[in-house]
Amino acid sequence: MQDEFSFITKITPKQVKQRELIHGIGDDAALFHIEGAYDEVICVDTMVEDIHFRKDTMAPFHIGHKALAVNISDIAAMGGTPLFYLVSIAIPKDWEDEELYEIYEGMSKLASQYEMDLIGGDTVSTKDKLVISVTVIGKIEKGRRLLRSQAKSGDLVFVTGNVGSSAAGLHLLFEKTRTGSFSKEEMELIQSHQMPQPQVKAGRVLAQSNCRLALNDVSDGLASEANEIAEASGVTIVIEENKIPIIPVIDAIDPEQRLKWALFGGEDFQLIGTMSEENWEMVHKQLEKQGVTASVIGKVTAGEAKVFLQTEENLVELKKEGYNHFK
């Protein structure tokens, strides 16, 4: 296998058999109808030792936190509320019981913030590396779901929080491991990588605004997520380099490296979206009231499904160059 994205495209069913299904493969989470005023949202992610985490960069507690956080982030990107989670874990012999309990404690602490319940899963052994797969079930009010396919020409492109901090934190962890000595500023970057905070609050504000908007979470990098919106919506997205919110604490790093982390580093789990310019001021104020920072970083135009970076010198096409498991 060379590319997970083309693989997913090939295995995507051509026909839908269940009339309750609203939206399946191709977004952050699947949606289907349930009785009452809500639709159900469900998503799953898998983390593999030495691919998504290493023992020298993340403690077991961090691994648990992150395994659940990445799924909650997908629910947030749909505008939903997380409710339940299931955990399947494949355990090799070199992991101690106490480490495994810490993984579940990391999940439990994060789940308690959203009043989520652990409702099942599976526990098996493996001869290789530890693998943890988490499924999260949530809900979204009927008619309020946020999809990648809603971007229109003339829309603004926005992102919550800052991007690039998780990749910067991972860079520091690779240099010194998690037992190294770090400054307060460096520890903030490391925490961004080890314990990302899903943007549920922002997703709920955006869903309840009742505005047309496209939304995606920044898991594989700003460039990759913007491309997913462009492809789903059939539009061109232009991101302005000087508007990308990169935290000041990494200003000492080479500017080119900072930009690469922001565009391609991934695992920030912020939200990138588009909405009409006329709705932005109202929604921005609602986000600020909830303590959510958000910045306009570009625009949507008519054209091919592509993403470009506007620099001071020229316009550069941004490819899907976030993390790819098969390269």
Annotated binding site for ATP: 104, 121-122, 148, 219
Query: How far is residue 155 from each of residues 124, 230, 277, 282, 306, measured CA to CA in Å?
Result: 48, 12, 6, 15, 15
Cα–Cα dist 1/150, whole Å: 31
Query: Cβ(323)–Cβ(51) under 8 Å?
Result: no
Measured distance CA(83)–CA(270) in Å, rounded: 20
Feature table: binding site for Mg(2+): 28, 45, 74, 122, 217, 220
Tell how strand 156-160 and strand 30-33 pair up. Answer: unpaired
Sheet with strand 38-48: strands edge to edge: 21-23, 30-33, 38-48, 131-141, 81-91, 117-125
The beta strand positions in 72-198, using DSSP E, are 81-91, 117-125, 131-141, 156-160
Q: Summarize the annotated binding site for substrate as residue ranges.
A: 52, 267, 323
Structure tokens at 164: 């690039």
What distance, in Å, lies between the first and last C-alpha atoms of the chain? 9
Write b or e for each residue in 232-247: b if 16 or more Cβ atoms lie within 10 A of its Cβ, otherwise e. Answer: bbebbbbbbbeebbbb
The DSSP code sequence of 150-169 is G--TT-EEEEES-SSHHHHH
Contact yes or no for 39/145 (Cβ under 8 A) = yes
Residue numbers in the known binding site are 28, 45, 52, 74, 104, 121-122, 148, 217, 219-220, 267, 323
Q: What sign results for the dihedral spanned by CA atoms 249, 251, 252, 256? A: positive
* Whether 161 contacts 255, CB under 8 Å: no
Strand order in the sheet with 156-160: 213-217, 271-275, 156-160, 294-301, 236-240, 307-310, 315-317
